[in-house]
Structure 1
């Protein structure tokens, strides 16, 4: 296909995607350019880099996330603490209809705050709210026709007024905020006991300051922080919002999750990650939310690193490659009813959780998203905390709830909706988390 003046190879179906990204990973592991993203990152940072820069940054970032997740305050501890906060935000709506975007975005942003900055921010903090507004606007712009036309004809669009220009103004403002956070970390870093991603990166920069081949520098720190914070905040929040919308559409699924929770953990506490294996239906619902919502349908583009043979075709070096995740997550040869929301896609005949090789919302191969564990932990703990404390409803009858996407460009966006939370009776202490 042609994307404006650029030719591209589109990979459809699990077999083609897996063959390219896993079996021929070395040939297809380059990061293709998205003009709007490239204008912001200029090839720096974890998500946009290639070659040795990417290898150094990815290896470091994977280790840094593992160290943080297993630290004094573990990933699970951080998410459970944040779940208590978001439950209280929902409780304060007092049963009135509200948009859940604010609370869920604050919650997922605070997990990324903990990862990147080593601290959470209050939900009333104006800096946090401004960041979330800019992130939300950028996802809408990049998924809109304006964003899509920009990525096909960037030279022309740079000359024209329009919403696409807000994308770059917002990105500059977010980077300015991150530069301020990095400057604070330089003053406070405990070089022997780094507490977060920025601290660990600063330590690595100091260790390699005499290495001329090191990619650990200010620009890669800024853009890697930018990548991790934005990607981790928006995609998880969007998935949770999709999940709540789908539970409004199918209240019987919500009720079954609540029954399973009570059978497995009782009514005196919320589930913890160790309970997930004993909650196969809940696990299946969370996987099905991710499959059905198809948050990043086009995946991030790849590029071939050398001339390569693929399925009888010669693909030249530098060819843009789009692994179409939507074609895998909604492939009728791997899903019984691909366009229907059905948790049975992940349940066997005994009602136990079953994996499906076509479940790749985080992509696959060497460029697979490094934040899968962080995202899955949030999805399970946030969703179960909310369903333990509330029955979710809407002013509309379930059959009138519209689950058709609002738009599907870079990201699949749901339609705006209002949620009503009715408190459930709980016993014991610590009922909110």
Structure 2
């Protein structure tokens, strides 16, 4: 009797899985066949890997549906499909779905994981405060230049010996965003700041793991089981506690009169002023809970993206010494040795600028991009897409699109240069995504990458350490695509 009941249950699950995938053709673009309970998770190997999605597009086209358990996700591949959703139908797809893991971990607070009215207010605040703090102006560049010099000093202490550059890069980059959100930088030995780095690595990595797929499949069970996901919860709580203590310190300055409206110097100052201004407004989403999560969002994204890109940058220069040499020749020819490198110098350094863009294209740290949610029923090609549907724009497929790039799977700075050696922009260059939900800190990240990279190449030559000939150029799959750990010899020029 028990065996017969089990067979009936399995048959029901199989019929349900078949109906869900094939009976929903009018609502969702067709995709690979599903299996009961798991959907397409087995096909995807429980990971959202960009190459897997590109391979599936060769069978099912540029727009198809995969099922993450019981959740349908429409995947977009190639420049044309991705651009249509991120730009042409921008208002239809500006929502942000929150999967169970991130709902439990971070909730719908701050800016990255919010939608609708909350997101609009928080993003608008971020745009205004970044401008107020000097984004794109000289005073913000000065802070980046100081951190770049600090990084050069750290590298120089190794005197060309093999080293892992990652911790020092992360420290210098995170101090740039720390100055913006906290109003101060932290010394290398600060233990609390080191814990923030651990939190950033674990929380950012969480959605790209096998454990995340299992958690989203059975959250009621996973909440009570040990595993890597519990470390992410612990460290995110640590991060929020640190931020809350910083907020309390800013509160004290407001109370004792040492800081007030018109004297704001960082994100926390401006946000507390905004809370005070909007007290009593029933439509306001400005509160300390959203403040803590906004700061966490800015710190994690501002640290992780630039750090990982610079790690790829040093790796590529080490592996492609002829390209490194051309960058250094241009820097030496155009800039005086005593010149303080500024973002404006990119206009005089087309090859250096092209190499940085190619690092972002080829290194492609964003992998598949951040998911979107349909805010209303709409159409995608010939398909009706229900409100609430999740859209996954595979940004890697754009950065590797053979219709847009001459040698998409090769590191080639010529992608961004014309026949005269002049730098050219490309519409398919979308490492920061596009549209209203594009990266809030894009301008800051561009400035950091140019100033850090140019300073590093002006001061050092990067070489593969003796005995480390087997350098890997493939990536570690995570929420961002990171290089495998490596060592480098940074030799003063």
Pick the aligned partner of 2:461 from 391, 394, 397.
391
In structure 2, stretches of 5+ residues that fail to align are: 1-65
Query: What is the CA-CA distance between 1:406 and the residue it aligns to?
Result: 2.4
Per the TM alignment, residue 272 of structure 1 is displaced from its structure 2 partner at its CA by: 1.6
1:417 aligns with 2:486: yes
Are 2:161 and 1:93 aligned? no
Q: In the alignment, which residue of structure 2 is the partner of 1:62?
A: 127
For residue 228 of structure 1, the aligned residue among 266, 277, 298 is 298
1:67-82 residue pairs with structure 2 within 5 A?
67-69=132-134, 74-82=139-147
Residue 283 to residue 398, structure 1, CA distance change in 2 (3 Å): farther
Would you say how many aligned residue pairs link Structure 1 and Structure 2?
Answer: 423
Q: CA 1:306 to 1:207, structure 2 compared with 1: closer, same or farther past 3 Å?
A: same
Which is further off, 97-106 or 390-399? 390-399
Question: What is the TM-score with the length of structure 2 in the denominator?
Answer: 0.83
Residues 152, 330 of structure 1: alpha-carbon distance in 2 compared, 3 angstrom cutoff: farther
Match of 1:246 in 2: 316
| 2:179 maps to 1:114 | yes
| In structure 1, distance between residues paired with 2:76 and 2:136 | 39
Equivalent position to 2:362, from 280, 292, 315: 292
Q: Deviations over 1:71-115 (max 9, x none)?
A: 997221000011111100101112111110111000111001011
Alignment of 1:335-354 (within 5 A): 335-354=405-424
Tell me how far apart the structure 1 counterparts of residues 385 and 467 of structure 2 sit (CA, whole Å): 51
Structure 1 residues 208, 36: CA separation in 2 closer, same or farther (over 3 Å shift)? same
Residues 248 and 398 in structure 1, CA contact (< 8 A), matched pair in contact too: no
- Specify the alignment match of 1:305 in structure 2: 375
- Secondary structure of 2:200 counterpart: helix
Residue among 330, 334, 341 paired with 1:260 = 330
CA 178–362 in structure 1, closer or farther in 2 if over 3 Å, else same: same
Deviations 1:315-368 (A, max 9, x none): 000111111111111111111111111111111111111111110111001100
The aligned counterpart of 1:169 is: 234
Cα shift readout 1:295-320 (whole Å, capped 9, x = no counterpart)? 11121111101110111110000111
Return the alpha-carbon distance in structure 1 between the equivalents of residues 205 and 107 of structure 2: 22
Q: Are the aligned partners of 2:198 and 2:235 in contact in 1 as well (CA < 8 Å)?
A: no
| Structure 2 CA distance for partners of 1:139 and 1:70, relative to 1, 3 Å | closer
Larger mean Cα displacement after TM superposition, 251-260 or 144-153: 144-153
Task: Describe the SS at the equivalent of 2:475.
Answer: coil
Shift of 1:160: 2.4
Match of 2:471 among 401, 414, 422: 401
User: Does the residue aligned with 1:31 lie in a helix, a strand or coil?
Assistant: coil
Alignment partner for residue 203 of structure 2, among 118, 138, 144?
138
Q: What is the deviation of 1:397?
A: 7.9
My pick for the range that moved more, 261-270 or 331-340, is 261-270
Tell which has more relative contact order, 1 or 2 (C-alpha 8 A, sep 6+).
Answer: 1
Matches for 1:179-190 after TM superposition, within 5 Å: 179-189=244-254, 190=259
1:374 aligned residue (444, 459, 465): 444
CA distance in 2, matches of 1:396, 1:91: 19
Residue 280 (structure 1) aligned with residue 350 (structure 2): yes
CA contact (8 A) 1:4 1:153 kept: no
Looking at structure 1, the residues matched to 202 and 402 of structure 2 have their Cα atoms a distance apart, in angstroms, of 34
Q: For residues 266 and 152 of structure 1, do their structure 2 counterparts lie closer, same or farther at Cα, with a shift above 3 Å needed?
A: farther
Within 2, Cα distance between the matches of 1:53 and 1:230?
Answer: 20
Q: Give the deviation of 1:141 after TM superposition.
A: 4.2
**Structure 1 stretches of 5 or more lacking a match?**
425-433
Equivalent position of 1:430 in the other structure: none
Report SS of the residue matched to 1:309: strand
- Alpha-carbon distance, 1:70 to partner: 5.0
- Kept in 2, the 8 Å contact 1:46–1:227? The answer is yes
Q: CA RMSD in A?
A: 1.7
CA separation in 2, counterparts of 1:149 and 1:251?
43
Deviation, structure 1 residue 41: 2.2
Mapped contact 1:11–1:322 kept (Cα < 8 A): yes
Q: CA deviation at 1:138?
A: 3.2
Per the normalisation by structure 1, the TM-score is 0.94
Larger CA deviation: 135-144 vs 216-225 = 135-144
Which of these two proteins has the greater Rg computed from alpha carbons? 2
Q: Which whole-Å deviations, capped at 9, do the CAs of 1:244-273 have from their partners, x for residues lacking one?
A: 111111011111111000111132334222
Contact kept? 2:395, 2:430, Cα under 8 Å: yes
Give, in whole Å, the separation in 1 of the partners of 2:467 and 2:443: 35
Cα deviation, residue 159, structure 1: 3.2
Displacement of 1:293 after TM fit?
1.3
Corresponding residue to 1:49 among 108, 114, 122: 114
Choose from 280, 290, 307 the match for 1:210: 280
* 1:326 paired to 2:326: no
